[in-house]
Amino acid sequence: MNDVEHNGLGTLDWVLILAPYRKDASYTASLLQERGIRAQAANTADLGKLLTEAPGVLVVTHEALNPEAIATIAKYLQGQPNWSEIPIIVLLDRRARQSGIQAALSAAWPGSRQIFYQRPVAALELISGVQSALLTRARQRDVRDYLERETELRRELNHRVKNILASVVSIFEMTRRGATSADGLAEDFKGRLRALSNVHSAVFAAGGETVPLRDVAHSILAPYGSDRQSGVVVEGPEVVLSRDAGTALALCLHELATNAIKYGGLSKPEGRIRLDWEIASDSEPTLTLRWIESGGPPVVEPSRAGYGTRYIRAALTDLFGEPPDLIFAPDGLRFSIRGLLSRLAPASLPSPPTT
């Protein structure tokens, strides 16, 4: 991170001034700073570097429009991201022919946002113009943030859909292995899909304000077992979670289950999953949650963390206040996390008994 970013600039909310004649740069900077607008003077030599530090507005005087400065600005404009269009305020001499200068600059800076003022310009008019230009930049930044969120949501949706489809295929394979008739296969498969649907409805609709941890676990893991045979064991005392905690934990368990049916303890008929938790108390009650896989293929730690692993680490660190332990043991994935129960349970509920 450079010095400009350390000083709080680089956020499209400051003004870069290129005005080499007499004290025009310092006067303009002082004028803006008196109105709470951050400003910094530049010369042609350091113009390129300062432009890369993301000013919100560029103010250029007539005298600064030499070929080197024009070329430097043109190079910066060509490298702007799609969402960005820096306003350039040009302060012209009273006797200057604006139409000719505007045509020349439009040719050098095609598609740029240019705002012209004839000098002398009233201080209030210039300040108003700069504030309006900064507001435009703020709106551009909002569009950028929206596009970034939109891109991340599309990536997450793509990831979720792939996981759901993988779950459906794996549930079918698990059901087929235990089926004794076509009717039994259809009935079991339909029931497991219904359970999977209920999971997504409960998690994303987020009905109610609290949810038992056991219900979260069973709603996520129910599609991977049956009354006759199950490779999944869920054990633990009664724990009530807040809606947000239950939703976050359900999504993490879903990631673990999806990974297990693809590569781990649920990818083979003899594979097993054990999910358990316990409450202990020192000064405050703490919850320890464990996920242990066995009977699956030998586990090899991936060379880079996928989206699911990154999500689990980030979501559970935020939820529990401590990072989870994720161990890629050769005989099966092991996962555990521990944190204060008060971070997960609604504040109005009494603390459960400890063990």
Q: What are the domain boundaries of the chain?
A: 3-145, 179-343
Q: Among residues 278, 286, 218, which one has the least CA distance to residue 254?
A: 218
User: Contact, 266 vs 260, CB < 8 A?
Assistant: yes
Instruction: For the beta carbon of residue 55, count every other beta carbon within 10 angstroms.
Output: 28
| Residue whose entry in the numeric block shows the structure tokens 């039994």 | 184
Domain covering 3-145: architecture: 3-Layer(aba) Sandwich (3.40)
- Evaluated on CA atoms 242, 248, 249, 254, the torsion sign reads positive
- Name, of 8-22, 136-150, 246-260, the range with top average pLDDT: 136-150
The lowest-confidence range among 29-33, 81-85, 148-152, 184-188 is: 184-188
pLDDT band at 1 (very low <50, low <70, confident <90, very high): very low
Amino acid 76: pLDDT:
93
* pLDDT attached to residue 202: 63
Q: Are 145 and 173 in contact (CB under 8 A)?
A: no
pLDDT for 9: 38
Q: Which two structure tokens, joined as six digits, stand for 89?
A: 């305020």
**Nearest of 253, 325, 334 to residue 299 by alpha carbon:** 334
Residue 143 has pLDDT above 50, yes or no: yes
CA-to-CA separations, 299 to 232, 270, 313, 330, in angstroms, rounded: 19, 15, 19, 5
Confidence of residue 289 (pLDDT cuts 50, 70, 90): very high
pLDDT reported for residue 39: 92
d(CA 198, CA 221): 11
Residue 114 has a pLDDT of 93
The tokens describing 152, both together, are 């991340």
Residue 308 to residue 313: CA distance in whole angstroms: 9
pLDDT at 229 over 60: no
Residue 173, both tokens: 């394979």
Highest mean pLDDT among 3-7, 127-131, 203-207, 346-350: 127-131
pLDDT of 133 higher than 70 = yes
Identify the band that residue 5 occupies on the pLDDT scale cut at 50, 70 and 90: very low
Computed over every residue of the chain, the mean pLDDT equals 83
Specify the 3-state DSSP secondary structure of 72. Answer: helix
Most confident of the ranges 55-59, 80-84, 209-213: 55-59
Q: Topology of 179-343 in CATH?
A: Heat Shock Protein 90 (3.30.565)
How far apart CA 299 and CA 262 sit, in angstroms, is 12
Return the pLDDT at 6. 35
Q: Which of 311, 307, 273, 266 is nearest to 291 (CA)?
A: 273
Of the ranges 47-61, 235-249, 281-295, which one carries the lowest mean pLDDT score?
Answer: 235-249
Q: Which two tokens stand for residue 275?
A: 């999910």
Residue 80 scores a pLDDT above 80:
yes
Checking if the pLDDT of 121 tops 60, the result is yes
Q: What is the reported pTM?
A: 0.49
Q: What 3-state class would DSSP assign to 170?
A: helix
Q: Is pLDDT at 7 greater than 60 in this prediction?
A: no
